[in-house]
């Protein structure tokens, strides 16, 4: 990271605003803006945050669901405690981790959220494919962890595999929309899939939908 890049980041509006409001990342504003537009969160909701480090989305989710809600996150690396949320170290591709999350939630989630991104390789087609794979794991987690009628928010990089992912998502939800919040950098290829009205899953247990794999560590604490 160059000194110029660091200076530009410090001067960037949402970065400075996150610091001022004590959010752990500028990504917090992406989730706030998504909810402002689509009204996904309600008081008392149970929320599962996949790839939750460093905790900015956990902070927002706690505020949006209120004291009667429950917010649980998971990541490959530890997360500094967030008041009102519970976070564990684990892998979303692990049956054991999914069982632990369901126990912490006290049942199925009303909302599953993911701001996960792959470790950037610099080869866009590779990064796009890895982003799609992360979203496929999010869909598998939704099959296991999301209640019927629930919602899913997940980040994806634009590319030629996007349409296939959208079709897979539409098989599971009543409505699927793609959105780019203002807080995303103008140069970013990231988009957010907002899926509402989960149709339910035939899976009886977590192991019916979660594929066991060993995690590959990323500098972002996510996968691949």
Joined tokens for residue 102: 């369901």
Residues 159/130, Cβ–Cβ less than 8 Å: no
Active site residue 155: yes
Handedness of CA 84, 71, 194, 9 (dihedral sign): positive
∠ CA 224-40-29 to the nearest 5 degrees? 60
d(CA 186, CA 198): 31
Classify residue 95 as exposed, middle or buried by CB count within 10 Å of its CB (0-12, 13-18, 19+): middle
Catalytic residue among 30, 70, 108, 155: 155
Point out the residues that are catalytic: 155
């Amino acid at each position: 990271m160059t000194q110029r890049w660091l200076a530009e980041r410090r001067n960037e509006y949402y970065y400075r605003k996150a610091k001022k409001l004590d959010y752990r990342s500028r990504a917090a504003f992406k989730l706030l803006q998504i909810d402002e537009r689509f009204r996904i969160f309600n008081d008392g909701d149970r929320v599962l945050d996949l790839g939750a480090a460093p905790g900015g989305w956990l902070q927002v989710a706690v505020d949006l669901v209120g004291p009667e809600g429950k917010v649980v996150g998971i990541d490959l690396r530890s997360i500094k405690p967030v008041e009102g949320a519970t976070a564990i170290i684990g892998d979303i591709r692990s049956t054991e981790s999914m069982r632990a999350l369901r126990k912490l939630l006290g049942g199925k989630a009303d909302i599953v959220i993911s701001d996960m991104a792959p470790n950037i390789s610099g080869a866009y087609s590779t990064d796009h494919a890895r982003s799609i794979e992360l979203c496929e794991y999010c869909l598998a987690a939704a099959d296991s962890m999301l209640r019927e009628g629930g919602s899913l928010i997940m980040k994806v990089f634009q590319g030629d595999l996007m349409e296939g992912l959208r079709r897979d998502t539409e098989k599971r939800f009543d409505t699927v929309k793609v959105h780019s919040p203002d807080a995303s950098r103008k140069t970013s290829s990231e988009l957010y899939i907002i899926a509402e009205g989960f149709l339910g899953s035939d899976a009886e247990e977590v192991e019916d939908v979660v594929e066991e794999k060993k995690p590959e560590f990323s500098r972002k604490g996510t996968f691949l």
